[in-house]
Amino acid sequence: MRQYILRRLISLLPVIFGVSLITFGLMGLVPGNPAEIIASYGKEIEPSQEEIEAVQQELGLDQPIPLQYLRWLGRVVRGDLGESLLSGQSVWHEITTHLPATLELAAGGMVIGLLIALPVGILSAVWRDSVVDQISRVLALLGASVPSFWLGTILVLFFAVRLGWLPSMGRGGWKHFILPAGALGLRSSAVLMRLTRANLLEVLDEPYIRTAQAKGLARSRVILRHALKPSLLPLATMLGLQFGHLLGGTIIIEMVFAWPGLGMLITESILGRDFPVIQGFALFITVVFVSINFVVDLVCRWLDPRVQYGT
């Protein structure tokens, strides 16, 4: 067990290193001189060449790209992601300030998705080819096809503008949370619903399930105690990927509902060419993704003891 965990942790390092290298390299391909952009912040006139050269020297931008990367990587290893060019705050402060709002939204969307996907997917598999199954598959197809920004806009028009039941933007009480979390949850439920149905149908065709049914066990007991747990193994993997996707991909929903999370932060940073925040955000999301995948591997081993640590 310990050797497996150690090997998995070591295998994550090349991924994080590769993403940091790609992110830093892509920042160098952005049009414009970063030093000129930095020197022009808060000024109404164009900065002089002397001011630009002073910023280049201060930030080390006059040095070769490999040396710049090594200096940046050395600071990252020590936990220093730099300072935001727009706010002057540290990148860590900006991320941790906006992270709770995104975590709240992503967790809410995941819970709503599970509450919809699990019962509907199980009923769809148990009553295969029935009216319930046909309707659920159509709804899952629609949910997977509808863009999140369109769904969010429709929810705002219907529940906020026409009915006036819920606020349309901002982060305040629980009413502000319903529409953005619902938009995320409806989108994720489509994928989870189809996966739950497919996995459960596959498990129900296993010989040991037929044997349990032949022994006279109640169908509900066979499904809940013998079929459901093995069918959740692929679902656990998808849940981890879905949560990572929601955490890093709520940009559109946060923009639609003016939700002050990481999506708003990275959007403002891209528009303002705040390079330290962009690099720090990309590295942070990478660490989150690989960490979630690591936890999912351990959960899969708990759900199915046949999964070996050495494989």
Tokens 């959740």 correspond to 232
Distance CA 262, CA 96 (A): 9
Question: Are 153 and 162 within 8 A, CB to CB?
Answer: no
The residue ranges of every structural domain in the chain are 97-261
CB atoms within 10 A of CB 245: 18
Which segments of the chain have a pLDDT < 70? 1, 4, 27-35, 37, 41-44, 59, 61, 213, 217, 219-220, 224-226, 248-249, 300-311
Q: How confident is the model at residue 31, as a pLDDT?
A: 62
DSSP symbols for the chain: -HHHHHHHHHHHHHHHHHHHHHHHHHHHHSSS-HHHHHHHTT-SSPPPHHHHHHHHHHHTTTS-HHHHHHHHHHHHHTT---B-TTT-SBHHHHHHHHHHHHHHHHHHHHHHHHHHHHHHHHHHHHTTTSHHHHHHHHHHHHHHHS-HHHHHHHHIIIIIIIS--S-SSSS-SHHHHHHHHHHHHHHHHHHHHHHHHHHHHHHHTSHHHHHHHHTT--HHHIIIIIIHHHHHHHHHHHHHHHHHHHHHS-HHHHHHTT--SHHHHHHHHHHTT-HHHHHHHHHHHHHHHHHHHHHHHHHHHHH-TTS-TT-
From CA 284, how far away is CA 290, in angstroms rounded? 10
Global model pTM greater than 0.85: no
221 contacts: CB under 8 Å, gap ≥ 6: none
What fold, for 97-261?
MetI-like fold (1.10.3720)
pLDDT of residue 311: 46
